[in-house]
Chains A and B, each alone.
Chain A
Amino acid sequence: MTSTHSASSSPSRAGAAMTDSSHAPGADTGAAKRAKTSGLTDDSAGMSYLDSLPRRLITVMLPLLVFVFVLLFPFYWMAITAIKPNYQLTDYANYSPLWVVGPTLDHIKYLLFETTYPYWLWNTLYVSFAATAISLVASVFAAYAIERLRFKGSRWVGLGIFLAYLVPPSILFIPLALMVFKLGIYDSKLALIFTYPTFLVPFSTWLLMGYFRSIPYELEECALVDGASRWQILIKVLLPLSIPGLISAGIFSFTLSWNEFIYALTFIQSSENKTVPVGVLTELVRSDVYEWGSLMAGALIGSLPVVILYSFFVDYYVSSMTGAVKE
């Protein structure tokens, strides 16, 4: 996103859209005016000024609103179910399912005080934090070695790291379960802390390699000439410059660990060691009577931490996602 221009500096925005603003003064001011009224500060507007407003409403706004509705409805449904009293949950004849009369906090209270849900939250937090920290440290060193030290075979190691990223957990969980059992860490947080880096390290290393590549090599050469060791260069020159990259890798790794399911399902057995996704699914679903209220409350509260983290770091998040894709 290159939103450098503000809408108030009228011709400059349109000037970015047209290759030469002096060419077409009419279109120029028109586009500028529309940009002003829509309050937009973005450059990639292109030639949308050629479309009339009603046409744009139907071809752009309408489909977009449908998309947003469909993508967000499950969250609304989750939230509204979490605060609905039980008698309204299945009584569609007398109460509309789409909103709630007399919201209640019973489901959330039940979750927090009568189940092991707080333990699951704590476990997930603990495991995600530890796995992310370990992976970040290992990835920084690995990425620096591959990208900057350029030792013999570093290209092949880089390729290997990328391939490791493509190995899915669903073909590793059986042998890993066997290993975890033999190592004696079955049913402990350690089992997850050791196995999560298998998908976090390749991802973070790949991301940080891309980030290190964007930092000018000259800075490092200057430091080398001044007598700095490689360690000092990494700590004092490279890392401070790559803080955005570290944040991206960190929050992304944290989210991936928070969302992990198959390892946590396989390696953890006792209720108080479970993570949120596993706990909600295996402990809150009992017999045939689904307690939808507390299930939805569990899903909602379990999602909130990552959503809050995400809302603070949207741009880092997007850049890490697209960065991983764009090599």
Chain B
Amino acid sequence: MADIAAHQASHSSFRSWLSRVGQGRHLLGLLFLLPAAVFLLLFLTYPLGLGVWLGFTDTRIGREGVFIGLENYQSLFDDSVFLLSVFNTILYTVGASILKFALGLWLALLLNQNLPFKSFFRAIVLLPWVVPTVLSAIAFWWIFDAQFSVISWALIKLGLIDHNINFLGDTTNARASVIAANVWRGIPFVAISLLAGLQTIPQSLHEAATLDGATGWQRFRYITLPMLSPIIAVVMTFSVLFTFTDFQLIYVLTRGGPLNATHLMATLSFQRAIPGGQLGEGAAIAVAMIPFLLSAILFSYFGLQRRKWQQGGGD
């Protein structure tokens, strides 16, 4: 009897606890946040910290490391391959981002025109971005084949060149080829995002400017571009982040070769850490990417803030 009463008492206290949780926003909020927080803290925040720590150790695969201070970073600064990879990463990011932006904006402007089958065009244009990068990179690998490249074949047929282009074997060509493949994959993202921004620009502005005698270039320069700049800042930040940390495309097409000319920081970090076994050194290379990423984020963040204020937006 007493047993049941105690059971009921504990049951009711549980109920009241439950209802208290149900009422209190703060407690309930934390409870709802729990699953996501557990995942992110365990598999994102903790590894991020662990990565920074690993960069200060000489950990190898199968062997616990000891703290060695800045030794990894010191040796990296004397490492010509690492310095080359930093240069390559910056070249790759800047080159690909500029091309993606210019071509993506152009494509967005084209798609914003009055076109037949507009939604069809928009749908197929996004395809390169949907398909797994590795799989489309394999197609590019075949397109860039030294002997049987279809591009070389077409150019020879047209009489523009007389021998096959060595796309991935020559340092300059290899850099250009990987940038081209990256741009191919990145254009749709930039174009479709900017198209969404273009569609929010009121037509009346363009009409008013036309009545005032503005040319097409002036309308683009003084209406489209300023109205689009907040979304350009966000899109390009994402694009720069993903290009800077790119791994898949390089890993498929060149694995960093020829003569490390296409080694990016991400691929070098992988190569040193996983096949090479030097987890500490690989982590140090990965950590060295963080300052670049942070500066890209801050650059876009402050760019964005300024625009918001210019347009009189609050928050």
Chain A residues proximal to chain B, CB less than 8 Å? 1, 17-19, 34-35, 38-40, 42, 44-50, 56, 60-61, 63-64, 67-68, 70-72, 74-75, 77-78, 81, 89-90, 92, 97-98, 134, 137-139, 141-142, 144-146, 149-152, 154, 157, 161, 164, 166-179, 194-195, 197-198, 201-202, 205, 229-231, 255, 258-259, 261-262, 265-266, 276-278, 280-281, 290, 292, 295-296, 298-300, 302-303, 306-307, 310-311, 314, 317-318, 321-322, 325-327
B289 at the interface (CB under 8 A from A): yes
B110 in complex: contacting residue of A38, A64, A296, CB < 8 Å: A64
Report whether A60 and B131 are in contact in the complex, using a CB–CB cutoff of 8 Å.
Answer: no
Cα separation A164 to B119 with both chains bound (whole Å): 33
Report whether A157 and B33 are in contact in the complex, using a CB–CB cutoff of 8 Å.
Answer: yes
B91 at the interface (CB under 8 A from A): no
Cα separation A74 to B149 with both chains bound (whole Å): 12
Report whether B193 and A322 are in contact in the complex, using a CB–CB cutoff of 8 Å.
Answer: yes
Cα separation A295 to B273 with both chains bound (whole Å): 28
Q: Which residue of A lies closest to B183 (CB)?
A: A70
With A170-B266, A172-B47: A77-B133 Cβ-Cβ less than 8 Å: no
Report whether B110 and A75 are in contact in the complex, using a CB–CB cutoff of 8 Å.
Answer: no
Cα separation A73 to B123 with both chains bound (whole Å): 16
Report whether B207 and A202 are in contact in the complex, using a CB–CB cutoff of 8 Å.
Answer: no
A70 in complex: contacting residue of B134, B184, B207, CB < 8 Å: B184
With A19-B204, A262-B270: A276-B132 Cβ-Cβ less than 8 Å: yes
Of the listed stretches B7-15, B72-80, B137-145, B167-175, chain A binds B137-145
Report whether A78 and B139 are in contact in the complex, using a CB–CB cutoff of 8 Å.
Answer: yes
Report whether A174 and B283 are in contact in the complex, using a CB–CB cutoff of 8 Å.
Answer: yes
B25 in complex: contacting residue of A138, A151, A157, A295, CB < 8 Å: A151
B125 in complex: contacting residue of A68, A90, A231, A326, CB < 8 Å: A68
Return B301 CB to nearest CB of chain A, in Å. 11
Cα separation A68 to B131 with both chains bound (whole Å): 16
Return B51 CB to nearest CB of chain A, in Å. 4
Q: Which residue of A lies closest to B135 (CB)?
A: A299
Interface hub of A40, A42, A149 (most chain B Cβ within 10 A): A149
Q: Which residue of A lies closest to B188 (CB)?
A: A71
B252 at the interface (CB under 8 A from A): yes
Which residues of the partner chain B approach A146 to less than 8 Å between Cβ atoms?
29, 33
Q: A90-B147, A171-B266, A314-B119 are in contact. List 5 more A-B contacts (CB 8 A).
A: A92-B148, A149-B29, A173-B270, A302-B135, A326-B196
B115 at the interface (CB under 8 A from A): yes
B98 at the interface (CB under 8 A from A): no
B256 at the interface (CB under 8 A from A): no
Cα separation A298 to B134 with both chains bound (whole Å): 11
B130 at the interface (CB under 8 A from A): yes
Interface hub of A90, A169, A170, A230 (most chain B Cβ within 10 A): A170
Cα separation A97 to B153 with both chains bound (whole Å): 9
B176 at the interface (CB under 8 A from A): no
> Which of under 10, 10 to 19, 20 to 34, or 35 or more describes the interface residues of B?
35 or more
Secondary structure type dominating chain B contacts: helix
A151 in complex: contacting residue of B29, B116, B247, CB < 8 Å: B29
Cα separation A92 to B161 with both chains bound (whole Å): 16
With A38-B116, A154-B29, A172-B51: A139-B196 Cβ-Cβ less than 8 Å: no
A-B contact pairs, 12 of them (CB 8 A): A77-B150, A78-B139, A142-B36, A142-B37, A149-B26, A152-B26, A171-B48, A171-B287, A231-B22, A295-B142, A321-B192, A325-B238
Report whether A175 and B283 are in contact in the complex, using a CB–CB cutoff of 8 Å.
Answer: yes
B227 at the interface (CB under 8 A from A): no
Q: Which residue of A lies closest to B50 (CB)?
A: A175
Return B183 CB to nearest CB of chain A, in Å. 10
Report whether B123 and A311 are in contact in the complex, using a CB–CB cutoff of 8 Å.
Answer: yes
Report whether A205 and B50 are in contact in the complex, using a CB–CB cutoff of 8 Å.
Answer: no
Report whether B290 and A171 are in contact in the complex, using a CB–CB cutoff of 8 Å.
Answer: yes
Q: Which residue of A lies closest to B296 (CB)?
A: A166
B166 at the interface (CB under 8 A from A): no
Cα separation A205 to B234 with both chains bound (whole Å): 18
A172 in complex: contacting residue of B48, B131, B135, CB < 8 Å: B48
With A171-B287, A262-B270: A149-B140 Cβ-Cβ less than 8 Å: no
Which residues of the partner chain B approach A45 to less than 8 Å between Cβ atoms?
113-114
Cα separation A77 to B136 with both chains bound (whole Å): 10
With A38-B114, A39-B116, A141-B36: A261-B133 Cβ-Cβ less than 8 Å: yes
Return B168 CB to nearest CB of chain A, in Å. 13
